[in-house]
């Protein structure tokens, strides 16, 4: 066979594959935007005390069994940003949005928008008081060493 014909066939197949991937990507992006709008619409403002935050696999995060049953198997091994917080009298494990995970302070009271077990945004927070040690001067350090 002529090498030009083979090259044209390969380029045609690649062109069709790229076209379908482009269409699929646009469709998935629209679905994701719709889901975000639904999350924002159903969000509630909650005051909580953040106890701990970690990135853990979904199966080790301490989430309800119903959440694990609904998630795909490949997602159970992925690490997700998990926040342990005291909401009212209960201590709960919540999943934070990737964009705000780094902004969430530990050991602080936070006003957050929560949709189910998903933290969508934090509005304001108040850090717990931390004792600050006074710096010692040079002479007091020398006296302390004697």
- DSSP letters spanning 75-91: HHHSEEEEEEEEETTEE
Domain 44-127 CATH assignment equals 2.40.30? no
Q: What is the mean pLDDT of residues 3-31?
A: 95
Q: How far apart are CA 96 and CA 92, in angstroms?
A: 12
What's the DSSP call for residue 71? S
Output the pLDDT for position 130.
Answer: 59
Q: What is the mean pLDDT of residues 23-33?
A: 95
Output the pLDDT for position 3.
Answer: 87
Question: Using 50, 70 and 90 to split pLDDT, how confident is the model at 131?
Answer: low
pLDDT tens, residue by residue, 35-75: 889 988 888 999 999 999 999 988 888 888 888 888 888 88
| Percent over 90 (pLDDT), the chain | 42
**Report field, pTM of the whole predicted structure over 0.95:** no
Q: How far apart are CA 126 and CA 87, in angstroms?
A: 15
Task: Indicate the domain borders of the chain.
Answer: 1-41, 44-127
- DSSP letters spanning 101-144: GGGPPSSEEEEEEEETTEEEEEEEEEEPP-PPPPPPPHHHHHHH
pLDDT tens, residue by residue, 76-121: 888 999 999 999 899 999 999 888 898 888 888 889 999 988 998 8
Q: Rounded to 10 degrees, what is the CA torsion of 102, 105, 111, 115? A: 40
């Amino acid at each position: 066979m002529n090498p030009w014909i083979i090259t044209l066939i390969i380029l045609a197949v690649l062109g069709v594959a790229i076209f379908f991937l482009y269409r699929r990507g646009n469709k998935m992006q629209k679905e994701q935007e719709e889901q975000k709008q639904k999350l924002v619409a159903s969000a509630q403002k909650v005051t909580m005390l953040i106890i701990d935050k970690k990135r853990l696999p979904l199966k080790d995060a301490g989430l309800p069994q119903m959440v694990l049953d609904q998630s795909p198997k490949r997602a159970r091994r992925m690490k997700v940003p998990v926040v342990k917080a005291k909401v009212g009298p209960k201590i709960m494990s919540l999943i934070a949005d990737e964009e705000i995970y780094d902004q969430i302070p530990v050991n602080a009271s936070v006003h957050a928008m929560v949709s189910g077990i998903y933290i969508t945004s934090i509005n304001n927070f108040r850090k717990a008081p931390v004792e600050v040690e006074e710096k010692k001067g040079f002479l007091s350090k020398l006296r302390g060493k004697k």
